[in-house]
Structure 1
Amino acid sequence: MPNQKLVIEKDLLQQFKIIVEDWIPKNASIAIAVNDTYVYFGSGSHNIHLEVGTAVKEDSIAYRVLRNPIKTDAVMENTLFDTPYYAIGYPIFVKDQPGALVIVLPPTFSKPKIETYRFLTGRQNEDWSPIPIEQISHIESLQKRTWFYKDGEQYKTTVTLKELQTRLPNIFLRIHRSYIINIHFIKKISRDVTSNFVILLKDGTELPVSQSYMNDVRSVLEF
């Protein structure tokens, strides 16, 4: 069925080349997989090659995306080529079939680093104060506003919890959809009457750990 394969490849090029060409490095390669088979491969300049028709290997980026259709990225050792590579996979549909679009980059590629906050500027009444990030005990989302706390005092910030989570240093930990805490301010972790975890901060504040963040909290704090 060579003609069928050619039609698919042209269709894929038209759909996806324009999407990625403006932002991927010139030496990046593009692989597209549908139904556990690679149907397209465009090689960059770092000497890797993939035959169209090759089966998707288990635990490759394409394999992961095909089974869990979310954006996925990782440095891979040898699940696709004979050399390590950095790959970013995206779920797509090709002629109504689920597929994976994989951008293949050299292993030396590193993701742009997002600068972490060194301070947050908070508002009290009509005054604004820049507070060093390490002095903040916890951050709270309440009534569509974000508040952070230092020495028991409350400050309002315009930064959302979602944005804060991506730019806070690793001393901060999300424990609930409404709370992020500074782990240096934890006094103890205990269970409430319903056997859910509660974190007691050094200033006496008690905050619940929600079930959706339980595994992350236990993993980070190692208990």
Structure 2
Amino acid sequence: MTNEGLQQLVSLMKDWIPDEAAIAVATDNAYSQYISGAHDIRIQKGQMIEKGSVAETVIKKKCKVEKLVDDSIFGVPYYGIGYPIQIEEKEGALIIILPTTHPYSKQQTLTFLTGRNENIWCPIEIKDVSHIESLQKKTWFYTNNEGYQSIYTLKDLTFQLPTNFIRIHRSYIVNISYIMEISRDFSSNIQITIKDGTVLPVSQTYSADVRKKLGF
């Protein structure tokens, strides 16, 4: 495929993929094109392909790849669908970039979490978990004013929890059912107060997703 043909293909794709989707094209270990969508991971033309990204995986495996990627690469988590392509006889990748909340991205959801409280392990139904926290390289979830340590990382849980859970910060996931109010702090940053009175910050990275999902 020539560069001209590829540009035409990318333009046509924007007519049928979701509005929130972005499109990236990579070849020669760098991104050659990027068209942002509502979910913008801010790739720059000429930017090198990152290890662990969808583009890197597609070019390495030479096959279609669907993959959830956390915020460690671009600062924004995303769900990517990548296709191997050839651009003027060079191996490349075309990637459709979607938010992690898109229906395509959902894996089998967890119905309970088992956590440790002192020397006892307890299975807790997901609906009873108010929020989840990453603290000092450990994951904790909370229910009925009790904290439990989990074997999962927040990265794992982001993609396995039901849709009523939302990632609001690098260190926090919250159960929407337990949100009491949404406000702003002294610096005008969004913060969430849950029913037990705990106040959780919403980081800039996740604020757009939070506002969209909660509708404000």
Q: Which category of TM-score, normalised to the shorter sequence, fits these structures?
A: 0.5 to 0.7
SS of the equivalent of 1:56 reads helix
Computed over aligned residues only, the root mean square deviation of the Cα atoms, in angstroms, reads: 3.5
Which residue does 2:23 correspond to in 1?
64
SS of the equivalent of 2:23 reads helix
* In structure 2, C-alpha distance between the alignment counterparts of 1:178 and 1:71, rounded to whole Å: 24
**For 1:149-207, what per-residue CA distance to the aligned partner results, in whole angstroms no more than 9, with x for missing partners?**
00111000010100101000001000000000000000001111111111100001000
Residues 98 and 214 from structure 1, CA distance in 2 versus in 1: closer, same or farther, beyond 3 angstroms?
Answer: farther
Q: CA deviation at 1:111?
A: 6.4
Whether the 8 Å contact between 1:34 and 1:100 is mirrored in structure 2 is: no
Q: Percent identity?
A: 47
Which residue does 1:42 correspond to in 2?
none
- Amino acid aligned to 2:205: S
Are residue 37 (structure 1) and residue 5 (structure 2) matched?
Answer: yes
SS of the equivalent of 2:24 reads helix
* In structure 2, C-alpha distance between the alignment counterparts of 1:111 and 1:200, rounded to whole Å: 30
Which residue does 2:38 correspond to in 1?
none
Structure 2, unmatched stretches of 5+, are 15-21, 26-32, 35-42, 44-52, 56-64, 67-79, 96-102
Whether the 8 Å contact between 1:65 and 1:89 is mirrored in structure 2 is: no
- Give the TM-score normalised by the residue count of structure 2: 0.62
Q: 1:163 aligns with which of 156, 167, 171?
A: 156
Count of aligned pairs between the two proteins: 157
Whether the 8 Å contact between 2:106 and 2:159 is mirrored in structure 1 is: no
SS of the equivalent of 1:168 reads coil
Residues 215 and 112 from structure 1, CA distance in 2 versus in 1: closer, same or farther, beyond 3 angstroms?
Answer: closer
* In structure 1, C-alpha distance between the alignment counterparts of 2:206 and 2:84, rounded to whole Å: 25
Are residue 152 (structure 1) and residue 152 (structure 2) matched?
Answer: no
* In structure 2, C-alpha distance between the alignment counterparts of 1:88 and 1:217, rounded to whole Å: 23
Q: CA deviation at 1:114?
A: 2.1
Whether the 8 Å contact between 2:106 and 2:160 is mirrored in structure 1 is: no
Whether the 8 Å contact between 1:65 and 1:90 is mirrored in structure 2 is: no
**For 1:37-58, what per-residue CA distance to the aligned partner results, in whole angstroms no more than 9, with x for missing partners?**
25xxxxxxxxxxxxxxx94250
Whether the 8 Å contact between 2:168 and 2:206 is mirrored in structure 1 is: yes
Higher relative contact order (CA 8 A, sep 6+): 2
* In structure 2, C-alpha distance between the alignment counterparts of 1:196 and 1:139, rounded to whole Å: 20
* In structure 2, C-alpha distance between the alignment counterparts of 1:221 and 1:161, rounded to whole Å: 21
Which residue does 2:196 correspond to in 1?
203
* In structure 1, C-alpha distance between the alignment counterparts of 2:193 and 2:106, rounded to whole Å: 32
